[in-house]
Amino acid sequence: MKQFLKFVLASIAGTIISGILLFVILIIFIGGAISTAMSDFDQSGKVTKVEDNTILHLTLDQPITDRGPQDQFNFDFGPFKTISNVGLNQILENIEKAKNDDKITGIFLDISFLNAGMGTVEEIRNKLQDFKSSEKWIISYSEVYSQKAYYLASVSDEIFIYPEGVLDFRGLNTNIAFLKGTMEKLEIEPQIIRGSNNKFKSAVEPFILDEMSQANRAQTEQWMGSIWSNMLAQIAASRGIGVNELQAMADSYEIQDAQDAVANGLATKTKYYDEVLAHLKFKTETEEEDDLKSVSLGKYIKAPKPKKDGDFSLDYKKDKIAVVYASGAIASGESADDAIGSETFAKAIRDARRDTAIKAIVLRVNSGGGSALASDVIWRETSLAKEVKPLVVSMGDVAASGGYYIAADADEIFAMPNTITGSIGVFGILPNMKGFFNNKLGMTFDGVKTGKFADFGELTRPLTDAEYAILQKSVDRIYDVFLERVSDGRSITKEEVDEIGQGRVWSGVNAMDIQLVDRLGGLEDAIARAAELAEITDYTVRDLPKRKDPFQKLLEDLNAEVSLQLLKRNFGDNAQMINSYKEIQEVQRMSGVQARLPYTVVIE
């Protein structure tokens, strides 16, 4: 008994000590986060002060999401590090602020690789182009320009590259991981149900093929070719080089080093970083012995917006436009940062509809879709909102399948030329894992049921013909509803929607040609159009849904970082294995009929 009490007391003591240690570590994390966050403020606690003749220094080295956090909590503690994502809304707003800020003399674009989609990069590039209308300059520099980074930098007045650096210019490429072999090795049978006419619904191909189908290859060549053509046209206009000449450079892989980039007009000069800084001092008339005055985006976000008279003050307006951010996969229930929960978003749109101060709604969509049922729940709220006030959609990098479903009933739809959209089609996947359980794990199953279909949906056996027929009927019915939603929203016949549907993917440019999109433009264009439709000129923007508490988000980021470190320790750089495993998990998580792109399109 004494021994038992000894172990119990030791266990309790250990728990208390562990709790104390956890509390101490948590305090350190919080202190580091607060310290870092407060570093963006001056010692008096006021917002960031910008001095005269200051350069806005843009690195854009963090993941760029549609909507940035209100509070930046960044910390670096041992092996764990989290950095708040920067939002496209923050980037656009602060470039606009810098354009009108007499204290900002120019932008130093210090970039290499961009963690952003093509639509996002296009929006930032357009905003930088607009910044130049203030007769302020943009100078870019990098040791290595990725294609996305160079596309963004091509808008600059001067483009500098490290003498031994690299500028990547060879055309776009996308690679899809096919998991048929993986499924076969694991003895998992992906049972696919899709509309008989959905020949372009390539979402299921990674699970049943080992290469692209001809239909998918044809559509991918079309939308990717459209994106590449747009990039070439924009670079050609900025650099004064012909489109055909640029294409020839890419086809011959002519740009192999920094000197090639300069010789062919893609870059201005080769310079070391210290030489770039000296050039910036020359541009700002800064004495050689003095430091450059510069402000990072993270700090400039906290600088007040200048008024035309030069006085800084907050401006409150009665009328509002709600921007509802819908990013990630669509699912039923509550939202997460990387998922669109139907309950959360339906409520956000409903609240915006009922709020009399909100005169118009902009739905910002960045989603490859998900649950067809959840998409319809959100669609219903957009339909009700449209009856009360203007509803405009702004498409980001991707607004396809379920992402298009929730956008279809808007008054007007904006997309970027590089947006991936369409994919009007549905499918269902139910993995049969009998072989995996039996032959890999040695598990067998048996049971009792009181009805013929009582065990319908079990993963431990294959579907029967009758069950296949039931699922096929459900998929066909939901596809027909999808066609109706688009037909009603876009004022075209169901037959016309089906002709451009069938799961086919389009670029923003192509989508406008076939009436799936009304205008080419970004988030700011959509907001301006919503204001015009609402007949208001003096308004503020309210972001919805409400964000999580910053401290809760900090803990979630920490948990995600710990998980990432454990994955790296166990798998090293074997990213393909991890991605394959995640895709298999994605199949298992799919509930009901899907309107989605289950694999991520990454364009390099």
What DSSP designation does 440 have? Answer: I
Check residue 203 and give its pLDDT: 75
Least Cα distance to 524 among 544, 502, 506, 541 occurs for 541
- The count of residues in the chain is 604
Q: CA end-to-end span of the chain, whole Å? A: 67
The residue ranking higher by pLDDT, 579 or 191, is: 191
d(CA 216, CA 218): 5
Q: What is the pLDDT of residues 96-139, one digit of tens each?
A: 999 999 999 999 999 988 889 999 999 999 999 999 999 999 99
* Pair of tokens at residue 276: 């770039």
Q: How confident is the model at residue 80 (pLDDT cuts 50, 70, 90)?
A: very low
Check residue 84 and give its pLDDT: 60
Would the pLDDT of 56 be above 60?
yes
Provide the b/e sequence for 429-452 (b: ≥16 CB within 10 Å). bbbbbbebbeeeeeeeeeeeeeee
Q: How confident is the model at residue 418 (pLDDT cuts 50, 70, 90)?
A: very high
Tell me whether the CATH fold assigned to 54-169+255-300 matches the one assigned to 319-596. yes
Find residue 296's DSSP bridge partners.
57
d(CA 367, CA 117): 12
Residues near 187 by Cβ (< 8 Å), separated by ≥ 6? 433, 434, 435, 436, 438, 439, 440
- Identify which of 35-39, 70-74, 205-209, 448-452 has the greatest average pLDDT: 448-452
Position 437: which residue type? F
Residues annotated as catalytic (active site), given as ranges: 201, 401
Check residue 360 and give its pLDDT: 98
- Burial class from Cβ neighbours inside 10 Å (0-12, 13-18, 19+) for residue 51 reads exposed
Instruction: Determine what percent of the chain is predicted with pLDDT higher than 70.
Output: 78
Instruction: Determine what percent of the chain is predicted with pLDDT higher than 90.
Output: 68
The residue ranking higher by pLDDT, 150 or 79, is: 150
Q: What is the pLDDT of residues 383-404, one digit of tens each?
A: 999 999 999 999 999 999 999 9
Would the pLDDT of 554 be above 70?
no
d(CA 168, CA 146): 5
Fold adopted by 54-169+255-300: 2-enoyl-CoA Hydratase; Chain A, domain 1 (3.90.226)
Strands (E) located in 59-157: 64-65, 75-77, 80-82, 86-87, 104-110, 137-145
Check residue 7 and give its pLDDT: 42
Q: Are strands 594-596 and 369-371 parallel, antiparallel or unpaired?
A: antiparallel
Would the pLDDT of 13 be above 60?
no
Check residue 336 and give its pLDDT: 74
Domain spans of the chain? Answer: 54-169+255-300, 319-596
Check residue 1 and give its pLDDT: 43
Least Cα distance to 406 among 364, 359, 440, 439 occurs for 364
d(CA 598, CA 203): 6
For the domain made up of 319-596, the CATH class stated in words is: alpha beta
Mapped onto helix, strand or coil, the DSSP state of residue 402 is helix
Would the pLDDT of 155 be above 60?
yes
Alpha helices in 194-316 (DSSP H): 205-208, 214-239, 243-252, 258-263, 273-283, 297-300
* Pair of tokens at residue 462: 């294959």
Q: What is the pLDDT of residues 302-352, one digit of tens each?
A: 998 887 544 444 456 789 999 999 999 999 998 776 789 999 999 999 999
Find residue 541's DSSP bridge partners.
321
* Pair of tokens at residue 510: 């192509």
Least Cα distance to 381 among 355, 414, 352, 415 occurs for 352
- Describe the chain by its helix, strand, coil percentages, rounded to 5: 45, 20, 35
Q: How confident is the model at residue 215 (pLDDT cuts 50, 70, 90)?
A: confident
